[in-house]
């Protein structure tokens, strides 16, 4: 088992407040420069019709990206965004493909299309995510935040791994494809009150006295679950020479639309706070560019914040974390049995 760079760092000694102040007020993310070239490269960005996904697509195309696959839920909104992007680059091929992160079959179809239609993939940015204000149970049987931000993101990651390995750019000097998922520093503050419940995943699906609905904590927990599982995938199953997996914190960013589901008054409050504290959209998107282009191979499996490897959430370094991670792993692989996810991961160990 590989020890990731984030694991080796140990818990973050900074307080959350100090870290937030440094991130939002004292850190400037470098934007792509004229020397950055993505000529001949192919990228997939989910949730790329708005916010960070759209802005990162603009930056990639501005650096000469040759082909962009926009993974979106609404083809109509995706085509509208693609029209904007074609004004940034008239030479690039820009495709709009549907993917519904609430639907496992849609995820499988998207992966099959990547396998069939793309001769090369250089990086994938899984930017799609939600922060709903209210509890909702989906057709999958799972609560929507956990479904979209954790389960569907991890399933899509797993199914894309052998595709990325097979579609890596040619040549001995070529960089291994990057698989980048959207993390959040809020995982550090996750209360995770049901962490001892077994089975674990079904406990998120109902509102109970022991687990009342808390949308802020549910979002944070969904990102914590990703850290628990994606670290294991990177450390035990995936060689960085085949695919580099990164969990990215873009900062608290203005103009993302993440909080659009909030009721009117809380939404106005958040918008005011973002106006004061939020990172500009172009700097948030530049963290995606850094992860895709500049992060060293040694960052594989790590959590990246401010363009540097950072510690995971504190919980991952506790004694109880391994037991929770084991239970989460078993339940997640069982949920993904229809897609043979564990067999897919085992195949990544083969030359």
As annotated, the active-site residues are 219, 223
Tell me how far the alpha carbon of residue 323 is from its chain's centroid: 24
**98 CB-contact burial (10 Å; exposed 0-12 / middle 13-18 / buried 19+):** middle
Identify whether the C-beta of residue 31 lies closer than 8 Å to the C-beta of residue 283. Answer: yes
CA distances from 5 to 1, 234, 259 (A): 13, 11, 32
CA–CA distance, 86 with 102 (Å, rounded to integer): 29
CA distances from 94 to 56, 61, 68, 70 (A): 14, 10, 5, 7
Contact residues for 336 (Cβ-Cβ < 8 A; gap 6+): 154, 155, 158, 342
**292 CB-contact burial (10 Å; exposed 0-12 / middle 13-18 / buried 19+):** buried
The tokens of 170 are what?
A: 């040619």
Identify whether the C-beta of residue 132 lies closer than 8 Å to the C-beta of residue 144. Answer: yes
CA–CA distance, 303 with 227 (Å, rounded to integer): 8
The DSSP output letter for 201 is G
Helix segments in the chain, DSSP class H: 5-9, 16-25, 51-62, 75-85, 104-117, 144-145, 153-166, 215-236, 264-277, 281-289, 321-335, 341-347
Q: What are phi and psi of 65, to 5 degrees?
A: -50, 135
Identify the bridge partners of residue 95 per DSSP, sorted by sequence position: 69
* DSSP per position, 139-152: TTSSBHHIIIIIII
Identify whether the C-beta of residue 219 lies closer than 8 Å to the C-beta of residue 184. Answer: yes
């Amino acid at each position: 088992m590989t020890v990731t760079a984030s694991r080796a760092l140990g818990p973050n000694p900074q307080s959350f407040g100090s870290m937030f102040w440094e991130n939002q007020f004292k850190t400037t993310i470098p934007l792509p420069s004229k020397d950055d070239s993505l000529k001949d490269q192919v990228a997939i960005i989910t949730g790329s019709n708005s916010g960070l996904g759209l802005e990162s697509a603009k930056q990639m195309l501005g650096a000469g990206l040759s082909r962009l696959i926009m993974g979106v839920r609404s083809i109509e909104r995706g085509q509208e965004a693609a029209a904007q992007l074609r004004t940034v680059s008239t030479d690039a091929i820009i495709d709009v493909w549907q993917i519904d992160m609430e639907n496992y079959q849609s995820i499988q179809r998207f992966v099959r299309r990547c396998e069939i239609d793309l001769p090369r993939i250089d990086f994938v940015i899984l930017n799609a995510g939600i922060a709903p204000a209210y509890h909702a149970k989906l057709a999958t049987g799972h609560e929507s935040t956990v479904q979209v931000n954790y389960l569907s993101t991890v399933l899509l990651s797993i199914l894309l791994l052998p595709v990325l390995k097979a579609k890596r750019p040619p040549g001995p000097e070529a960089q291994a494809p990057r698989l980048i998922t959207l993390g959040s520093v809020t995982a550090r503050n996750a209360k995770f009150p049901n962490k001892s419940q077994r089975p674990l995943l079904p406990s998120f699906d109902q509102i109970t006295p022991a687990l009342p609905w808390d949308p802020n904590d549910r979002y944070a927990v969904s990102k914590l679950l990703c850290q628990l599982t994606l670290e294991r995938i990177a450390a035990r199953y995936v060689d960085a020479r085949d695919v580099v997996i990164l969990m990215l914190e873009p900062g608290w960013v203005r103009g993302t639309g993440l909080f659009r589901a909030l009721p009117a008054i809380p939404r106005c409050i958040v918008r005011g706070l973002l106006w004061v504290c939020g990172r500009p959209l172009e700097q948030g998107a530049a963290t995606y560019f850094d992860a895709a282009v500049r992060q060293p191979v040694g960052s594989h499996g790590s959590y990246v914040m401010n363009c540097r490897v950072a510690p995971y959430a504190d919980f991952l370094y506790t004694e109880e974390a391994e037991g929770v991670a084991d239970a989460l792993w078993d339940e997640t692989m069982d949920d993904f049995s229809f897609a043979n996810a564990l067999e897919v991961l085992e195949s990544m160990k083969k030359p």
